[in-house]
C-alpha cells in the first residue's frame, strides 16, 4: 500500500487574489496602456517616488526600526513609516515584525521559520503566504515592545482602512493633478505595488540562496550587491543575519544602502537617534574567522 500524502494546508484566498490580480494587471494592463495611449513622464516620476517611499517604509520602518530596534525614531518619522508601510500591503507592523523575529530566531528551520529557504525558493519567496502553514502562524508574544508603541498599535487596529487610503488616495490625487487617472493607477498604484512586493520577497528567497558568506555560514543568508540595488540595501543579508541590530546592512562606503542613508539623514534632521553600529573590531573578527574556516576547508 502506498502512503497517503499529507493534505496541503488551506489556500488563503485573499492573499492569493491580491497577488494574482495585481500581477495580471501589471503584466497586461501596463504594456497595453503604454502601446495604445502612452504614459506621460509625470506618471513615471510618481511611480519612482512612490516605489522608493513605500519600499523604504518596509526596510527602514518595519525591518530596521520595529523588528530590530536598530535606531529610535521621532513620532513624526514613525507615523510616516507606518502610513507608507500600509501602502506596501505587507500586513501590519506588528504581524510583519512578529514573523520576521521568528525568522531570525529559527532561520532555516522548516518547522518554525515562516519562510525557510530549505523548503524551496518558491516557498520562501511567496508560497508561504498563500497557504495556512503552521510555521506562518502569528504569535504576538515576541513583540511586547512594539505592542506598546501607540503608532504601531493604531496601524494594526486600523490596517484595512489605512491600506485602502494609502493605495487609492495618492494615485487619485496624481490623476487629478495630471488629468490621467488610469495612467497613475496603473503605474503608481498597481505596478509599484507588484515591484515593491517582489523586491521585498527577494530577501526571503534569493538572499538566502545566491551570494557570498563573508561573515558566517551558520545559516543560509548571503551578501549580494546585485540584490541590494533592487532592495534598498537589504541585499547584504549575510551581514544582517550576523549583526542584525546594526542600522546598516551595507557597511562599506561603496555599498548601495539607501535605507542606511535615509536613517542617517533622519538623524541629522532630529527625526532619528541612537543609531546602533556593530564595532569594527567585531566585524573584522567575524570576517577573519570565516576566512580561516574557508582556508581550512580548501587546504
Task: Let me know how many helices (H) and strands (E) the chain has, helices first.
Answer: 15, 2
The residue whose grid cell reads 495630471 is 178
What cell was used for 166? Answer: 494609502
Identify the three-state secondary structure at position 72: strand
- Tens-digit pLDDT profile for residues 166-183: 999 999 999 999 999 999
Element of type H or E holding 180: none
Is residue 199 a contact partner of residue 231, using CB atoms and an 8 Å limit? yes
Identify the three-state secondary structure at position 273: strand
> Does residue 2 surpass a pLDDT of 60?
no
- Tens-digit pLDDT profile for residues 194-219: 999 999 999 999 999 999 999 999 99
Confidence of residue 295 (pLDDT cuts 50, 70, 90): confident
pTM of the model: 0.95
C-alpha distances in angstroms, 230 versus 1, 122, 191, 202, 227? 50, 19, 15, 9, 5
| DSSP at 279 | -
Other Cβ atoms within 10 Å of 280 Cβ, number? 9
Q: What is the pLDDT of residue 297?
A: 66
The angle formed by the CA atoms of residues 159, 162 and 165, to the nearest 5 degrees, is: 155
> Does residue 7 surpass a pLDDT of 90?
no
Amino acid at each position: 500500500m502506498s502512503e497517503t500524502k499529507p493534505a496541503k494546508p488551506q489556500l488563503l484566498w485573499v492573499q492569493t487574489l491580491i497577488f494574482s490580480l495585481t500581477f495580471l494587471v501589471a503584466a497586461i494592463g501596463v504594456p497595453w496602456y503604454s502601446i495604445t495611449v502612452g504614459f506621460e513622464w509625470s506618471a513615471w516620476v510618481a511611480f519612482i517616488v512612490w516605489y522608493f517611499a513605500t519600499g523604504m517604509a518596509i526596510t527602514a520602518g518595519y525591518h530596521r526600526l520595529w523588528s530590530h530596534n536598530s535606531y529610535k525614531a521621532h513620532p513624526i518619522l514613525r507615523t510616516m513609516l507606518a502610513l507608507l508601510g500600509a501602502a506596501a500591503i505587507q500586513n501590519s507592523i506588528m504581524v510583519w515584525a512578529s514573523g520576521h523575529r521568528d525568522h531570525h530566531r529559527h532561520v532555516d528551520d522548516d518547522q518554525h521559520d515562516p519562510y525557510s529557504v530549505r523548503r524551496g525558493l518558491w516557498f520562501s519567496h511567496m508560497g508561504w503566504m498563500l497557504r495556512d502553514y503552521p510555521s506562518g502562524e502569528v504569535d504576538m508574544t515576541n513583540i511586547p515592545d512594539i505592542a506598546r508603541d501607540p503608532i504601531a498599535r493604531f496601524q494594526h487596529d486600523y490596517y484595512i482602512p489605512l491600506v485602502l487610503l494609502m493605495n487609492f488616495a495618492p494615485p487619485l490625487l496624481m490623476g487629478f493633478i495630471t488629468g490621467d487617472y488610469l495612467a497613475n493607477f496603473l503605474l503608481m498604484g498597481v505596478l509599484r505595488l507588484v515591484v515593491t512586493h517582489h523586491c521585498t520577497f527577494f530577501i526571503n528567497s534569493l538572499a538566502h540562496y545566491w551570494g557570498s558568506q563573508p561573515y558566517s555560514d551558520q545559516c543560509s543568508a548571503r551578501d549580494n550587491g546585485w540584490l541590494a540595488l533592487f532592495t534598498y540595501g537589504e541585499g547584504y543579508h549575510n551581514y544582517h543575519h550576523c549583526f542584525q541590530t546594526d542600522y546598516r546592512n551595507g557597511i562599506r562606503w561603496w555599498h548601495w544602502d539607501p535605507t542606511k542613508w535615509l536613517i542617517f539623514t533622519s538623524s541629522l534632521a532630529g527625526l532619528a537617534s541612537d543609531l546602533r553600529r556593530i564595532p569594527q573590531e567585531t566585524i573584522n573578527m567575524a570576517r577573519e574567522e570565516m576566512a580561516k574556516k574557508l582556508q581550512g576547508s580548501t587546504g
